[in-house]
Chain A
Amino acid sequence: MEESKSVMFPKSLHEAWKLYHDGKESSCYISGGTWLRTQWEANPEGTAKQLICVDCLPGLQTISTSSDDGETMVTIGAAATLSQCLESPVIGESFSGFITACRNIAAPAIRNQATVGGNILTAAGDTIPSLLVIDAQLHWFNGTDIESQPLSDWLRERENDGANEEERILVSVTIPVKKQEKKGTAFSFYTKVGRREAFIPSVVTVAGTGMLTIEGTLADVALAAGGGTTVPGRLPDVEALLHRARFSPELLKKVHEKIMTDYSPPPDPFAGVYYKKTVAANVIIGELYRLQEQQSDDKGGVGYAVRS
C-alpha cells in the first residue's frame, strides 16, 4: 500500500547503491515512475517498500554530445524524459528512427514523465528496436564504477536471465553519430504497429538503418524487431542477406521468408505468432520497397522515418 512506502533521495550513485543493497526492506530504483505506478495499480501487494529516486542524481537527466578521435557520440542520461529527447536538436538531426519511436510512445503527458532508461529497463520498450539498429551502448553503475555494455548484449542477458532483477543502475545510453558517407544515401525507418492508431502498446515494432550505395546496392543494413512482451533483437541473418544485395523481387521474397523464420515472438491474447511474424516481415520489406521506389524516382533524400 502506498502509505507504507518510503522514498529516498540519494545524492550520488554510491549512496543510491548503498541504499538499495543495505536496506532491510525491499527496494526499487525509480525515475519517472510511470511504469511502476501502473504495476502497483494492477498489483498493490508485492511491490517494493522503499523507492530510491535516481532521476535527481547528477547528470542523469542530461543529453550531451562529445567527440573523440573524430567520432561524435551522443549521451542520453537514463533519466532524460522522452519529451526531452524529442526536443533535443542533436537527437532530431542524427537519429530519426529513435525520434519516431519516442514520438509514438503513449501520449505527451506520459512522455513528459517517462524516461529513456525506464523504457529500456522494461526490456520490451518501444525505443529499443530503434536503439538496437544504431548500436546504442548502455552504461551502468555497478557499485564501484561505470561499466559499458552494448544494448544488444544486455537484452540477450535479459532474455536468458529475466527472472532476476537488474541490480545495477543504468546511468546513460550513448549512441555514435554515423558520419555522412559520400558513397550513397543513408536510410532509416521505424514502424510501430498496435491495435489502434495512437496511444497504444506495440504489437510489432521494427526499425532499420542502412545505406543505399550509388551503385544501387545495399550496405551496412541493420534491422531489429520487437513488440508486445517480446524482448527485441537484431535480425543478423536477414541483415547478411541484404548486405551488398541489389533490389529484386526474389531478394524481397527471400528476406520475407527469412524474417518469418528468424523472428519468433510469443503469442498474447490479442495477436498470434503468425500475425506478428507476418507483420514484421511485411513492414520491413514494405520499407525496402519504398526505398527502391525512391531510388527509381532518383530523388535521393537523406533518410526518412515512417509513422505507422
Chain B
Amino acid sequence: MLLDRNRNGSEKQWRVRRDGKDKVTGGHAFLTDMGFPRMLYGRVLRSHYPHAIIRSIDLSAAEKLPGVAAVLFHKDVPGLNAFGIADPNQPVFCDSLVRYEGDALAAVAAETSEIAEEALQLIKVEYDCLPVVDSPEKALSPQAPQLHPEGNILHETEYVRGEIEAVFADCAMIVETTYETPRQMHTYLETEGGVFVPEDSGSLTVYAPTQHGYKDRMQLARILAVPEEAIRIISSPAGGSFGGKDELNVQPYGALLALRCGRPVKIHYSRSESVKAGLKRHPMTVMMKTGADADGKLLAHQVDIVSDTGAYATLGGPVLNFATEHCLGPYRIPHVHIKGKAVYTNNGVSGEFRGFGGNQVIFALEGQLDRLAEKLQLDPWELRRINVREPDDPGPLGQRIVPTDGPRQVWEGIQRSPLWKKRKRSDGTTGKVPWIKAGTGVALAMHGSGLGYGIPDPGGGSLRLNENGKIEAAFGHEEFGQGLLTTIEILLQDHFHCAAEDLEIVIGDTDRVPPSGSSTASRTTNSVWQALNNVREPFLAAVYRKAAKLTGIPEIRLQTGPGGIWTTADCGGDKKNLLKRVITYKQLADQGANEPVFSTKFHYPLTPDPIIGAHYLYTSIAVIAAVEVNLLTGMVKIAGLDHCVAAGPVINPPGYLGQIEGGSVMALGFTTMENAVMQEGYYTTKNLDTYLVPTIFDVPEFQQVDAVEELISGDDFGPRGVGEIGTVAIAPAIVSAIRQATGKWLTALPVSPEQLVAADAVISSYLQPEEADRKEKGRDN
C-alpha cells in the first residue's frame, strides 16, 4: 500500500504520536534537560594528541580551583577501567597511552560548567608524541606502530564457496572496481548527555539516553564495581540516536563523579566534544570483482573489505560481519570469496550506525551490477531480475532463513513509482539550460534484522493491569524518535480494543521494565509484536476470570474494551460486538486484579545454522532516484527518491513512512555531502558549519513510499522493523542516476562536485546547438 494519508489513512491509523503534544510545546523533558537541586556540572578532559604516551598527569591545580568538587582520573576507577559493547577495550580514562583525539584522561565536577571548563585547563598532562596511524593502509604496513596488544587488526572475516579463480576464467564479462565510503556522523540533534544522581539508599540513578538500558547497566556496574541492581538506568527519551548512543558515552564519567561527590552531576557534551569523542560510521574501502556469463547470470564475486574502525573496538567486529554477509545482496551467486578486515587506526572511533555496514557494501555491490549491465548491454533492472534469489533459497552465507520473496516484490513494486517513467531517458538533457543534466537510477537491497547468529539476542516484555487501572505494558526498549510508543499503543489497542487512555506504556527504566534486548538492528517492532502475542492470552484469561467472578457473567461473554470489560453480543466467533461495560479496569484493579505480572522471554528469531553473524529475518527495498546535475558547478540535486519496501505488515503507517523518509535523507547526506574529514588524526569538521547534513532545501519535497505487506504463506514472523532499510540502497541509486545524467561513474562517496564539474559545460552546448536539437528530436520520436 502507498503510505499516503490521503489515499489510505483513517484518523485511527494516522494518529497523533503518544509523545506528540509535549514535543510541540517544549514540555517534553529530554534527559539532558533535567536538573536537580545541588547539581554539579561535569566535563571530560580529552587528549591533546591522536597518539602519544602519557608521561604524567597532574590534577593538583585543578583540584584547588574554588568551585571544583572532584577531579578524577584512571586511578579513581574502582572496577574495570574500560568499556565497549562487544569488546571492552576503550579506557574510561587513559593511563599510559592515548590512541585518538577523543580519548579521555580526566573528568571534573564543579559548581558551574564554566568552572569545570577552567579546571580542565589546569590539568597538566605531559605526553611523548608517537607517529599517527591515520589510515588502514598505514596501520597494515609492516612498520606500523601496534595500537593494541593484539595488533592493528580488530577482526577478520572470510567466506568462500565454489571455485572462484577457475570460474573467473570462464566469465564473459568481469567488472572490477574499488569503492570508498565516508566517515558519516550520526548528528543527532541532542548531543550526548545525562544526569547522574546518587540516591540516599546508596544506589545510583542514571538519566542518560542509550539504545539498551540493561546493557548500560551491565557496563556501568563493571566500571563502578557495584552490583547491577545498585544502578537504575532511565534511558528514554532520546533526541535521536541512529546507533550512535548505543555505546556508552558520558555515563562512566557522570557516574564516577556523582558517586565521588555524593551530588547529582550533569554532563552534556558540546557539539565539538560530541564530534571529537562520538562514534561515526565505518569508512570502508570495498574492492569487488564480479563476473557474469554473456546472458548476465552472475557467476563469481570476489570482495575485499577494509574498514577503518578507529581507535577502539565497540561493535567494529559485528559491523564487519554484517558487511561480509550483505555484500552478496539478494542475488544467487555460485562462486564467492569474501575477505574483510576491521583495522585499528588513530582516527575517531567507528561504531554502530543505522545500516550497520550494509550501506557501504550495498553501494559497491549495486554499482557492480550497474556496470556489468552496461558492459553486457542489458537493462540493469533486468540484470537484477535474472539473478534475484528464489523465495526458498538459503541466505547470503548459505544459512537457512525465513523464506522471502521480498526482493522480487520490491523489484516489481518500484515500477509503480511515477519516477519509473523517467527511467528510459538516456541522454540527460532536461530542456532547461544546457548544463543541467538529468538522470534516474534504481537499486535493490535485502537487509537482515536482529543481531545475527552468535550474539545473544533476547526479547521480552510484560503486561499487567496496574494499580491505577491501566493496562501496563513494559519493555526494556527505548524511544529515540522512531515512534515506538505509538507502535506499542496500536498493537495494544488491536489486542484489547481499549482506549489509548487505558494504557500505560513503560519503557527505558531498568527498575520498571523487563530485559527486552537492544533497540537496534531493526528488531524492536518485531520483538514487541512477539512479546505481546505471547502474553496476551494468559493476561486476558486472568482478567476475565477475575471479572467473571466479580460480575457473575461467564468469561466467554466478556471482552476487553474502552474503559473496562464489556459483555458481547456473540458468544463465539471472531467478531464480537460490545454491548455494555460491566466493570472498569480501575474497579478490577481495586479488587486486586493487578496481579500477577505476565512476562515473556524469548530469543529473537535465529537461523539454526551456526554461521557467525548470519541473519534469519530479512527485509527488502528498491529505490529509484532522480537527479539533476549542474555541470557548471558539479552540484547534484536530488529531484526525487521513491521507495518500495517489503517488511511485513505495517503497524504504524506514519511511523513506517517517517523511518523510510528519514533514513533515505540520512543516506542522501551520506551520498552527496557528509564526511567527517580527519587530517593526521584530527577532525577538520568540528561542528555543523563544516560537517554538513541535508537542509530542507537539499531533499525532495515528496517521497513515495510503497509498502508490500504480504509475507510468504507460512511466514508467521509478523512485522519487521524498518529503521535501517530506508538507508541502505540510496547511494547506489543516486550514483547510478548521476551516471545516466553525466556519463560518469563515481566510486567514492560523498560524490565529489570536482569530478562532475565540466570546464566545457557552456562552450560545448553553445557550439553544437543543432546537434543538440537533433538529439532532442530523436528522443521524442
Contacts and interface: CB of A to CB of B under 8 A. Distances in A.
Are A and B close enough to touch in the complex, i.e. CB under 8 Å?
yes
Interface of A: 1-3, 38, 41-42, 44, 193, 195-201, 204, 249, 252-253, 256, 260, 269-272, 274-275, 278-279, 281-283, 285-286, 289-290, 308
Interface stretch (B316-324, B580-588, B602-610, B633-641): B633-641
B390 interface: no
B695 A286 contact: no
Given A196-B698, A256-B763, A285-B762, A270 B690 contact: yes
A198 B692 CA distance: 11
Contacts of B757: 275, 278-279, 282
A257 B684 CA distance: 33
Contacts, number: 93
Most buried by B among A199, A271, A278, A285: A278
A200 B684 CA distance: 17
B716 to A, nearest CB: 45
Contact of B679 (A44, A269, A272): A269
B435 A193 contact: no
27 contacts: A41-B272, A41-B687, A44-B117, A195-B753, A196-B673, A196-B692, A196-B694, A196-B697, A197-B635, A197-B695, A198-B695, A199-B697, A200-B692, A256-B762, A256-B763, A260-B759, A274-B754, A275-B753, A278-B757, A279-B757, A282-B762, A283-B633, A286-B433, A286-B435, A286-B762, A289-B766, A308-B633
B697 A3 contact: no
B763 A253 contact: yes
Contact of B632 (A197, A201, A279): A279
A195 B695 contact: no
Given A195-B692, A197-B698, A200-B692, 20 more contacts: A1-B114, A3-B114, A41-B272, A42-B272, A44-B117, A193-B635, A196-B694, A196-B698, A197-B635, A197-B637, A198-B697, A249-B766, A260-B759, A270-B677, A275-B634, A275-B753, A279-B633, A282-B757, A282-B761, A286-B632
B184 to A, nearest CB: 15
Contacts of A260: 759
Interface string B107-135: 00000001001100000000000000000
Contacts of B766: 249, 252, 289
B138 interface: no
A191 to B, nearest CB: 9
Contacts of A282: 435, 631-633, 757-759, 761-762
Given A42-B686, A271-B754, A199 B695 contact: yes
A249 B634 CA distance: 22
A3 B695 CA distance: 34
Interface in B283-332: none
A283 B632 contact: yes
Interface of A, secondary structure class, is helix
Interface in B431-456: 433, 435
A289 B753 CA distance: 22
Interface in B665-724: 672-673, 677, 679, 684, 686-687, 689-690, 692, 694-698
B114 A2 contact: yes
B709 to A, nearest CB: 35
Given A2-B114, A197-B697, A286 B761 contact: yes
Contacts of A44: 117
Interface string B741-781: 00000000000011001110111001100000000000000
Interface in B228-252: none
Tier of interface size on chain B: 35 or more
B677 A196 contact: no
Nearest to A106: B689
A252 B767 CA distance: 11
A44 B635 CA distance: 35
A144 B635 CA distance: 49
A281 B694 CA distance: 27
Nearest to B121: A45
B672 to A, nearest CB: 8
A38 B766 CA distance: 44
B686 to A, nearest CB: 7
Contacts of A271: 753-754
A242 B428 CA distance: 32
Contacts of B114: 1-3
A193 B633 CA distance: 7
Contacts of B753: 195, 271, 275
Contacts of A249: 763, 766-767
B77 to A, nearest CB: 29
A38 to B, nearest CB: 7
B695 A196 contact: yes
B121 to A, nearest CB: 8
Contacts of B679: 269
B433 A290 contact: yes
A281 B759 contact: yes
